[in-house]
Structure 1
């Protein structure tokens, strides 16, 4: 399929395969409502910590919920509600988010077609997310996609979270390829950095103006959809390409 030396594709999940705001906006409102236990001021402070805009059910570009993992933002939540930040709190937040996000789960329409094209070309497919592995598997399963993935990893799978290179290196090992033959497709600078630190190829996907803003020109290439990604992958590498955002 690819004339670019790419022989396997590793995907980010949220904002890449899933519509981030449609899935996580309602889910975050639900989680914060539970944690705040009816205290409106507490709810507002928890939302601000997470870079969440509850009136619009959306997120500020720098929201740690977008690119980070639970340990990136939940310690401040625990401190605000007066409980220890420990494994039990991480598990509670993860469980709340999993249940709420499954209720609002929204995948992008181009995902299945792209995965089919990659599979037909014989390219192994993996997932690397800063969500938990259990939630990632639950999301893929509900979308009917889990069986398409040769590898699924979350921040708690033992290889660390992004922007660390661990999940990317583990995927390359799992499919028996050098990291240089792996492409990581994601919508945040964490994805780009994780790919680069592992020696893989970063492709940014900017499905929203927010993603375009935070990605800038940091990735090797930037696309607006998975249809565009597949077209890029199939295009001869020597063809001239427009600059990101052009």
Structure 2
């Protein structure tokens, strides 16, 4: 397992999932419920979010789904709402969500680039919010390829985004590793023929990830040591 390219998930991987999206989900639910407490509870239940505790369920739809899938779960509780308009509101709110990095990102990605590794990012978030989040974190320039669920390559757990990233980096899929916090990420890696690396900064526990991963790390900061052990050192 010696990759030449690393492909990252975003939410729960670059950014701590609950710290970033807990407040966003509450704000979205309350805004769309428009003061109707029963409607807010119904939307929250559909998304797997506990409004009272402010916590996601382990199988929350928000964890690995696309904006369209989340909207589809909300729409039965929002009669008369337009799907495209709801997704647009979600994307606008997502682009402004304060991101909480899982580890200090700038030094990590400087280290990875110095090792000569090609870097990409694929997310089930939409592309515009993803690029906004990378820019706010100061690491947008680190990635040679960025794709969201609306970028034309499909969404995880299908492998389309990952394969498009490998092509853009001019690497064979087997020369790439996918790093993510969810089973969607690991299943996409397997389907693409890539190394599958799980991290524990999302909602999935180690026991859920390990059967589907080549290795599970505590967070992406541990990649440096993992690469050192494989003699992928700085040029």
Q: Does TM, scored on the shorter chain, surpass 0.5? A: yes
Structure 1 gaps, min length 5: 238-246
Structure 2 gaps, min length 5: none
Aligned residue among 221, 228, 233 for 1:234: 228
Question: What TM-score comes out, normalization by structure 1 length?
Answer: 0.88
Q: Does 1:48 align with 2:42?
A: no
Evaluate the alpha carbon distance shift between residue 36 and residue 213 of structure 1 in structure 2; reply closer, same or farther with a 3 A threshold: farther
1:208, 1:142 → 2: CA distance?
20
Aligned residue among 191, 195, 200 for 1:201: 195
Q: Conserved in 2, the CA contact under 8 Å of 1:28 and 1:97?
A: no
Query: How far is the alpha carbon of 1:64 from its aligned partner?
Result: 1.2
Aligned residue among 144, 150, 157 for 1:150: 144
Moved more, 90-99 or 19-28: 90-99
Query: How far is the alpha carbon of 1:63 from its aligned partner?
Result: 0.6
Q: Conserved in 2, the CA contact under 8 Å of 1:204 and 1:223?
A: yes
* 1:141 paired residue number: 135
Report runs of 4+ in structure 1 exceeding 4 Å deviation: none
1:85, 1:195 → 2: CA distance?
34
Question: What TM-score comes out, normalization by structure 2 length?
Answer: 0.92
Query: How far is the alpha carbon of 1:97 from its aligned partner?
Result: 2.7
SS of the counterpart of 2:177? strand
Moved more, 199-208 or 76-85: 76-85
Q: Conserved in 2, the CA contact under 8 Å of 1:188 and 1:211?
A: no
Moved more, 66-75 or 22-31: 66-75
Q: Conserved in 1, the CA contact under 8 Å of 2:199 and 2:219?
A: yes
* 2:72 paired residue number: 75
Q: Conserved in 1, the CA contact under 8 Å of 2:17 and 2:202?
A: no
